[in-house]
């Protein structure tokens, strides 16, 4: 799955939750790949389809995107994991971080993925 396919997949996931999903431009996206709106809430998502650990730059970019898009929430979702400094910064800035395991759990919670034994 490419990075763009990962973004589309996440868009589909959030649409299933009732969000109106807008994909940003490939470049000059201000740090967000998706802008989600539902019931007065605005959420920006940065999707990171990577094998390597996600560092602080993704957190900084997503925090900035939340301010730019006037979002209530900021979320970085990765197919990998986050570095300790990234998680510490995210905690301070209020940026949510979903690693691969958390994403799978969310899919299961919303019955979009079968439970594992």
Q: Give the tens place of pLDDT for each residue, 60-83.
A: 999 999 999 999 999 999 999 999
Local confidence band at 47 (pLDDT 50, 70, 90 cut-offs):
very high
Average pLDDT on 80-105 reads 96
Is residue 84 assigned to a domain? yes
- Total domains present in the chain: 1
- Residue 15 belongs to domain spanning: 3-109
Is residue 114 assigned to a domain? no
Instruction: Identify the CATH number of the domain in which residue 73 sits.
Output: 3.40.1350.10
DSSP state of 114: P
Give the phi and the psi of residue 41 in degrees, each rounded to 5: -95, 140
Contact predicate 52/72, CB 8 Å: no
Q: How many CB atoms lie within 10 A of CB 109?
A: 9
Is residue 96 assigned to a domain? yes
How far is CA 64 from each of CA 17, 40, 67, 108, rounded to the nearest angstrom?
Answer: 25, 20, 5, 30
Taking the complete model, does pTM exceed 0.85, yes or no?
yes
Local confidence band at 117 (pLDDT 50, 70, 90 cut-offs):
very low
């Amino acid at each position: 799955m490419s990075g763009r396919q990962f973004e589309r997949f996440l868009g589909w996931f959030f649409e299933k939750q009732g969000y109106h999903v807008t994909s940003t431009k490939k470049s000059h996206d201000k740090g967000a790949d998706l802008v989600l709106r539902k019931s007065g809430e605005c959420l920006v998502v940065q999707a990171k389809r990577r094998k390597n650990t996600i560092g602080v730059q993704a957190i900084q970019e997503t925090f900035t995107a939340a301010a730019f898009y006037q979002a209530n929430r900021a979320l970085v979702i990765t197919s990998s994991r986050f570095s300790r400094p990234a998680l510490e910064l995210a905690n301070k800035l209020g940026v949510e971080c979903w690693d691969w395991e958390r994403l799978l759990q969310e899919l299961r919670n919303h019955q979009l993925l079968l439970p594992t034994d």
